[in-house]
């Protein structure tokens, strides 16, 4: 009866393990750029979900001139450029109230993390939001994609850029919109659907890391379907 491995068998097992390790380990190593893209796809879809389940329509919600204002509160995802949060790119999901529709949300206007209600869905962009390195920060550090994933730039295609703004809105049907609603410089701000407000062609968002590598997402016009472009 054979009670132990021979030296040759042991060496053979070690060689096999080495080959498997060399083959498998590179495949399971993390890719921060891809991780950031996957996270962003999920959060864009969640923003769309909020717009679908939280319709802001209220025809009685009007300003002192009798103009409807509910549409300015549509759910949006907004990217803050370096300088707004530790000089890193970050983003926030929120519904900006009309009364202070500055484009910068306060804590009460930001979506809650569905997995942890004590957290708000921001990476730190927006005035008045605490620094992510502060112990009292109530946001989500992973949404500071510059800090967490080394993202150095976020590029929006021309089809979804308005006045250099990097944000997307969704209406009650989940359709993507790209103009900053309620801006004083916006000639169509009196209307719920402004001229060319809805996306007419796919919006491409490109994430660029510190090594100038990049990955792109596509948000489909009309449906708002979002996917990673490989």
Q: What is the pLDDT of residue 57?
A: 78
Mean pLDDT of 127-140: 62
pLDDT tier, 27 (very low <50, low <70, confident <90, very high otherwise):
low
The pLDDT assigned to 83 comes to 52
pLDDT of residue 133: 55
More confident residue, 227 or 191: 227
Instruction: Give CA angle at 118 (114, 119), nearest 5°.
Output: 70
Burial of residue 141 (number of CB atoms within 10 Å: 0-12, 13-18, 19+): middle
User: 144, 60 in Cβ contact below 8 A?
Assistant: no
Q: Is 79 exposed, middle or buried (0-12, 13-18, 19+ CB in 10 A)?
A: buried
Percent of the chain with pLDDT over 90: 34
List residues bridging with 181 in a β-sheet: none
Average pLDDT over residues 74-86: 73
Q: Residue 2: pLDDT above 70?
A: no
Q: What is the pTM of this model?
A: 0.77
Quote the pLDDT of residue 73. Answer: 83
pLDDT of res. 225: 95
Q: Could you give the angle at the alpha carbon of 174 between the alpha carbons of 145 and 196, nearest 5°?
A: 90
Q: Give mean pLDDT, residues 190-211.
A: 83
pLDDT value for 185: 40
For residue 127, what pLDDT is reported?
A: 47
CB atoms under 10 Å from CB of 225, counted, come to: 15
- How confident is the model over 162-196, as pLDDT tens digits? 777 788 989 889 999 886 554 444 434 556 666 56
User: How much is the mean pLDDT over the chain?
Assistant: 79
128: pLDDT confidence band, cut at 50, 70 and 90? very low
pLDDT value at position 174? 92
């Amino acid at each position: 009866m054979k009670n132990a491995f021979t030296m040759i068998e042991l060496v053979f097992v070690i060689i096999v393990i080495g080959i498997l390790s060399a083959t498998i380990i590179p495949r399971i190593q993390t890719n921060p750029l891809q991780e950031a893209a996957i996270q962003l796809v999920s959060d864009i879809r969640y923003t769309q979900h909020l717009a679908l389940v939280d319709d802001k329509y209220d025809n009685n919600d009007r300003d002192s001139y009798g103009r409807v204002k509910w549409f300015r509160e549509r759910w949006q995802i907004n990217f803050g450029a370096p300088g707004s949060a530790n000089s890193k790119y970050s983003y926030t999901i929120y519904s900006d109230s009309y009364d202070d529709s500055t484009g910068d949300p306060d804590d009460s206007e930001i979506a809650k993390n569905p997995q942890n209600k004590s957290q708000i869905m921001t990476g730190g962009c927006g005035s008045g939001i605490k620094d992510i390195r502060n112990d009292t920060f109530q946001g989500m550090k992973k949404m500071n994609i510059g800090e967490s994933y080394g993202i150095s730039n976020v590029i929006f295609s021309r089809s979804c850029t308005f006045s250099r703004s990097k944000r997307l809105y969704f209406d009650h049907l989940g359709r993507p919109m790209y103009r900053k609603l309620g801006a004083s410089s916006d000639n169509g701000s009196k209307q719920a659907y402004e001229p060319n407000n809805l996306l007419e062609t796919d919006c491409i968002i490109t994430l660029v890391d510190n090594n100038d590598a990049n990955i792109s997402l596509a948000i489909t016009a009309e449906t708002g379907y979002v996917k990673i472009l490989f």
